Chain A
């Protein structure tokens, strides 16, 4: 399921409108993921998982930065995310199911904050983008 030219355009345009707030959305997506899918917390046993936790905020910021990087390199995502991909395969070993939960919560966060920009076509493109990022991050698992 490759990204079409239209998907790339939709994703870039949407992401640009998020402006400087991406770290807020990254954090909120994580909080939503931990609350709705409690098993995801098992990957962060050392964290305070609640909203407002500085650890969650720092991690949300990292997440947002990685996604912003991905948006800027849609034409060569595997290359752009290569080291993150290594990290997830060899060190973090997050079960692939969990990427779906986080992707969903990211979409929910974006819908909550930018409903007007999330028409069905953009929704589809973003869902494809997040699915593609997830598959790149798990591509070296075995």
Chain B
């Protein structure tokens, strides 16, 4: 189970406070679909995913990205109990959505690249390390109920 130091919690929470959830979510999910095109397999109903610009401009991608990142906000509020916080979502992703947990790791890392691009100098190696722990913890929590 991942354990966050007080400093890491503070680092994560403070950056989260500045994140535009809607924009960042859409950007991260969009880039996931562009950089790792096989992830598009889960989004047949999303319409036009034929090019990077189509993907990044797709309203369903943006909406879903916002949903996913809003969920990450729950993680930030529950750093001491990620498994508990994501228990239902974990069951959903296994039983209904059938998503390979590797995709959570891919999305987590794409999100980190997006945060680095957005926050620049502020996204120091220390800040990145705290966020890597978060995305790893979330990915693992989301995979926890798989069977």
Contact = CB atoms under 8 A, between A and B. Distances in A.
Interface of A: 28, 31-32, 35-37, 51, 104-105, 107-109, 111-113, 115, 118-121, 123-124, 127
A127 B34 CA distance: 11
A35 B56 CA distance: 31
Interface in B93-141: 109, 112-114, 116-121, 123, 125-126, 128-129, 132
Contact of A111 (B52, B55, B117, B126): B117
Q: For this complex, into which size category does the number of interface residues on chain B fall?
A: 20 to 34
Contacts of B31: 120, 123
B117 A35 contact: no
Interface of B: 30-31, 34-35, 52, 55-56, 109, 112-114, 116-121, 123, 125-126, 128-129, 132
A111 B14 CA distance: 20
Contacts, number: 61
B122 to A, nearest CB: 9
**Chain B contact residues: helix, strand, loop or mixed:** helix
B129 A36 contact: yes
A121 B55 CA distance: 11
B125 A127 contact: no
Contacts of A112: 116-117, 119-121, 123
Contacts of B112: 104, 108
Given A112-B121, A124-B34, A35 B129 contact: yes
A52 to B, nearest CB: 12
B35 A118 contact: no
A120 B35 contact: yes
B1 to A, nearest CB: 17
Given A31-B125, A111-B117, A112-B120, 13 more contacts: A32-B125, A35-B125, A36-B128, A51-B125, A104-B112, A108-B112, A112-B123, A115-B116, A115-B117, A120-B34, A120-B56, A123-B31, A123-B35
A28 B125 contact: yes
A63 to B, nearest CB: 16
